[in-house]
Structure formats: structure tokens, C-alpha cells
Structure 1
Amino acid sequence: MTTESRPLWQPPLVPPLNQELEATMRARIDGKAKPPGSLGRIEDLAVQLGMIAHPAPPKADKAVLLVFAGDHGLTEEGVSQYPSAVTVAMVKTYLAGRASANAFAAAADVEIRVVDAGVAAELPAHPDLIGAKVRMGTANAAREPAMTMQQARDALAKGCALAIAEIAAGADIIALGEMGIGNTASSALLVHRLAPAPLDECIGIGAGQDDPGMARKHAAIAKAAARSNASSPLDVLREFGGLEIAMMAGAVLGAASKRRPVVIDGFISSAAALVAIRLCPDARDYCVLAHRSAEKGHDIVLAAFGAKPLLDLGLRLGEGTGALLAVPLLRAAARLVTDVADLSDVLAGNI
């Protein structure tokens, strides 16, 4: 079957949450053996998890972090201080168990899967590496579309399938992380078009830039934005996205389609989630915003979600580090629903 005749991937059906359940869940949490509201935003999280899992009780025991890696043709324009070779080096570091994400995952009891979404190199086989490469990195979005429409759809489909496979294997929580030199530039373009927001307000220092580097980054991103007036989610993803970003967007949709919470990391993961909810607005209610990134532009994405993140620690590493730190909060919120006694039972001496 040729690419042209291949059926186009469509987003999976995402069941909308029954918003009428919110009052019921809130009353249930208020009836626990504690003053109403005394656990603050953990109570809000418990309500969200309860609504997602309904009619079953929420469960947050097994969490899996999917770290998607991909390279960006925009690095040819000098948008990063680092070469694309660093993406390969970091993938090897994850597989060796020595990256920050590995350390945080061990601390939070979260399993890691490393996914080659579009690294611009052939990676040696490794038992912990999932080969899902769509192409050897994206094209230079300042000069041409980052990928074809079919490649964008393939990346979405693969991310969706990976999340669904982890859920079929027992995952209660899907967390997202990424690695890709140049991906803050790609994310800035996505947020600019899909939030939408002024371009300059979406561009941050990424992995670190001096003043000349920031000037190059702004110029390259502006050049890319001027090349295309794309505004629909798939067109914007095709023109400016990264393969790892597209797969994260697909993973959001996959997790939501199976009624599982998906923990969104920082700026880049949030840009991917923004693509997902523009494709399927009902996916929004399955997203848990882990933290407020120090990367410029993240507040714009958070505003687009209408959400307040759980943590604000000044993080801007990526890799899923913020999402990993948030996972224990989801576990605590789920156990608030399932393990904490009702106040009525306490007062009646039924404990």
C-alpha cells in the first residue's frame, strides 16, 4: 500500500468526563475524616482522579514515564547552543540509567521507557529502547515543513499506540518526558499558533543561550513562522513540530481514550498536550499539569489549559523530571479517595 493510499489515522475516541460527577466526588472528599478543604489542591486532584476512574475507584500504583527522543532540523539555524549529537548522547545516558530522569524515577518508583521517535542517527539495539523512528529528525522548519502530513499522523499514531500498550500492561498513570536538541524552538512555534500568543512571548532560553544565541534563535523562529500561516492543529504540527512532540501528543490521546490520567511535564510536554487538546478537547480533563516550568512561554500554555500546575520548583530540564516529582501526589490523592475513613464512621466508632 502506498503512502498516498494508506488510510489516514484518526484520533481515538476520548470519553468526555461526566461533569455532574464533580459535585458528588467533592462531597465524598468533604466527608472524609478531615476538615473540608484542609488538604487543599490534593482534594482537587482527588476529585479529578475520581471522575476519570468512575465508576471504579481511582488507582495510581503503577506509573510509566515515556521519554520520547527526536532531533530538529531547526538546529541548523543556530537555535541551540548544543549540536544534535547531544540527543544521541542523552538517549544513551537514559539507557545506562544515569540521567536525572532515571534518578527521579527510582525515587518515585516509576518505570521508564525510552522511545526513539526521530533521532537523527541509527541507535544500537537495546532492550530498554523502543524503536519508533518515523524519520531521521525533522526538516528545517525555517525553510520547509518539519515533516509531511503522513509523518505527523504516523508519529501521533505511534505515540497513541505506545500509551495504550502500557495501559494494557497494567499502567495506572502515563507520564510524559522528552529529549531533543532544538525542541524549545519547535514548541514556541506550536504555542504561538495554538494558544495563540505573540511569538516573542513564547521564546525562552531553552538549554541555555547567551545574547547572540538568543538573537539567532529569535531570528530563526521568526523566519519559520513567516514561512507558513498554518493554524489548524495538524497543519501546525506538520509545519513546526517535532517527532517526539507529535508522539507525546498521541500518547495524551491514547491515555485519555483508556480513561487514564496523563501527567504533563514542562514547556515542551505541555506544547504537545496543547496539540492533543486542540485535536480532541475532551482530552483536557485527563491531563495533570505537573509543574510550572521556568522556561518562558510555559505560563501561556498553562493559561490555555486553564489549569494550575501542582508544583513550582523552578525546573526547566525536561526529560519528564517534573512529571516524576508529581507522581507521588497523584498516588496520595487516589488513596485519599480509597483509604481515608469517612468522618461519619469515625464519629460512630466504626473504625
Structure 2
Amino acid sequence: MPAPFTTLDEFRTVLAQAPAPDAVATAGAQDRNSQLTKPPGALGRLEDLAIWYAGWRGTPQPQINTPQVIVFAGNHGVCAQGVSAFPPEVTVQMVANFQHGGAAINQLSKAFGARMDVHALSLETPTADFTQGPAMTEAEVIDALQTGWTAVDPQSDLLVTGEMGIGNTTSAAAIATAILGGEAADWTGRGTGVDDAGLAHKTEVVAQGVALHATDDPLEVLRCLGGRELAAMAGAIAAARQHRTPVILDGFICTAAAAVLAKTQEGALDHTVAGHLSAEGAHQKMLDALGKEPLLNLGLRLGEGSGAALAIGVLKGAVACHSGMATFAEAGVSDG
């Protein structure tokens, strides 16, 4: 469906008016969970995940049949500052790899039965170098948010957003510094694998950008320091909320995009869970700031949505147990 906003203020209103989970479905799922053939709490977080999922899907006995993975790609003008170990051309090359089914995220999407879509956002026109001026105009950031919004299939029952964009850990670190506080060094990591000198330079670039674009408005932070793919992920996560589609967040870059929503509107990420803990150093601190506990910790730092796609299996397992197990009454088992 068309995005219901054409300005950042209108997007802010959309976030403020986002729907809540279905309280009746949540209560029904909690009641069902208490009757399943297992000791109370025996499935740990799987029980909480299933109840959370049921509330957002509006049914006490849900299923996951149509997960969607969307990978957004963008190029960053700040790469002119030499912040990445790889050239920007790699973004275009990796998009082709996604489209031909050759990347890790293709395999993981297929393994967990997810439809996968790829959206390249104006790769021939990188964002502006945010050490020199705002990364995007309002029209450009709105266009990216709208691309993310309309990319979400309303019929999907679970969403993963991934990204590709050389330089985007620099953008994510700048966003985190600006909206979560602290110093650039607290949030800046090695990304594609820069050496110590490269990390020091990258940290200075992040600090320059944050100092140049001082603002308390998270959406302005996204415009001035973000990238098209980060804005698209934010738009997709917001759209999923409108459809009551639960979201599994990926790593450092995806979480930075999601943090913009969380700091714009309290509770904006209630329909999301953290899929994994990335090996990008500041991801744990970012998750802590958002109150999210990751489902997996496998040392991944690939991006693409890979860690979140793996976590589809965890959520599918939670929902399968919740909805498929017999109750004590159905199984003829004494519940004590």
C-alpha cells in the first residue's frame, strides 16, 4: 500500500498512531501456554516469544507460514573519507549477487522458508558526505522511508530487514552517537575490517559528522547522518507495525535504524525482537539501550539480515511448540 506520509512530521504522526497488540489474543495465548503438556516455564524464552507473537498476530494459536526477508542497499558519500576497507563498487556487486541467489542471506532465507526481496536505492547517487553537509534532503529521506514502507508484503507474517552498503557502519555509529549519547569511540567499530589506524580515523569522521549536525530530533539525525538503506529499514519496520507483523531485528546497522524509531516514539519497537548479537563491538550496548535481549550469539558480523534470518528458526520453533503441542486435557495427561 502507498506510504501514508510525505514529510517527516507526517511520519512522526504515523509512528504515534501505530496499533498495539491484541490483548484478547495475548491473554488467550497465555492461557493456552499454561495448559500445554510441559512443566510451567520449561520452554523458557520460547514461551514468551510465542505469546508475544500471538498478540501481534491477533490469534492465541498462530502459525508462521509466510516470512519475508528484505535487503536494502545504499551507497554512502562518507566513503570519500576512507572509512571502509572496501570500495563503494562492492555494494553494486553484492546486489547482483543477492539477485542471483549467491549470498549467505539467500541461503538462509531459503532454509527457513522466507521470501526474499532486494531493493537497491539510487546506488549511482550516493548520499552526501555527512562531514560536509546533511547526508540527505528531506525529500531523499522520505523517498527511502517510503521505499521501505511499500516493500513490506501485508500478507507476510514475519519480517526481517537486512542491508548492504559500504560505509554504513560509519553511518550507524554516527546515528547511535547522536541519539543514544556518549562519544564516537563508544559506538565506532571495525566494520568491514579496518586496522587500528583506520578505526581511529573512522571514529574521528563519526565525531565530525555528529558535531556538524547537532539536533535532538532522531528523524533529523537519520536525514543528516543516515543512509538510504537505513531509512528504508526504518520505513519497513514501521510498516510492519501497521500490519501487526512481528519483526526480527538484525545486527548493528539494522538496530541503529530501529533506534531512530524507538527514540522518536516510545514503544515503537514493541513488535520487534533482536535476532542476534553481532560481533560489531557496540551492538550489545545498542541493544541494552533499547532493552532488547538477542536470541542468538554466534559471532556474526556479515549484515544482510543473516543473523535475523537464522533467528526465524527460533521463532518458528517457539510458535510450533505453542500452537502444535497438545494440552493436558487433549493428551489425557494428568497436570497434577
- Residues 199-348 of structure 1: matches in 2 within 5 Å? 199-347=184-332
> Hey, what's the Cα distance between the residues in 2 that align with 1:292 and 1:118?
30
Residue 118 (str. 1) matches residue 117 (str. 2): no
% identity of equivalent residues:
37
> Hey, what's the Cα distance between the residues in 2 that align with 1:96 and 1:304?
37
Residue 191 (str. 1) matches residue 176 (str. 2): yes
Q: What code does the residue aligned with 1:202 have?
A: W
CA contact (8 A) 1:31 1:342 kept: yes
> Hey, what's the Cα distance between the residues in 2 that align with 1:158 and 1:181?
20
> Hey, what's the Cα distance between the residues in 1 that align with 2:328 and 2:259?
40
Q: In the alignment, which of 94, 98, 114 is matched to residue 90 of structure 1? A: 94
Change (3 A) 1:233 1:313: same
- Residues 50-65 of structure 1: matches in 2 within 5 Å? 50-55=54-59, 57-65=61-69
Residue 137 (str. 1) matches residue 137 (str. 2): no
**For 1:284, what is the secondary structure of its paired residue?**
coil
Match of 2:7 in 1: 8
Question: May I ask how many residue pairs the two structures share in their alignment?
Answer: 325
> Hey, what's the Cα distance between the residues in 2 that align with 1:21 and 1:95?
38
Q: What code does the residue aligned with 2:244 have?
A: R
**For 2:280, what is the secondary structure of its paired residue?**
coil
Change (3 A) 1:24 1:110: closer
Quote the offset at 1:340 in angstroms. 1.1
Structure 2 spans left out of the alignment, 5+ residues: none
- Residues 155-170 of structure 1: matches in 2 within 5 Å? 155-163=144-152, 166-167=153-154, 170=155
Structure 1 spans left out of the alignment, 5+ residues: 1-5, 122-135
Structure-2-length-normalised TM-score: 0.91
Q: Deviations over 1:200-234 (max 9, x none)?
A: 11011101011121122112111111212122111
Residue 43 (str. 1) matches residue 47 (str. 2): yes
Match of 1:127 in 2: none
CA contact (8 A) 2:7 2:138 kept: no
CA contact (8 A) 1:118 1:244 kept: no
Match of 2:135 in 1: 146
> Hey, what's the Cα distance between the residues in 1 that align with 2:265 and 2:116?
26
Quote the offset at 1:48 in angstroms. 0.7
- Computed over aligned residues only, the root mean square deviation of the Cα atoms, in angstroms, reads 1.9
Q: What code does the residue aligned with 2:144 have?
A: A
Quote the offset at 1:246 in angstroms. 0.2
> Hey, what's the Cα distance between the residues in 2 that align with 1:108 and 1:171?
14
Match of 2:164 in 1: 179
Which stretch of the first structure deviates more once superposed, 179-188 or 300-309?
300-309
> Hey, what's the Cα distance between the residues in 1 that align with 2:266 and 2:183?
22
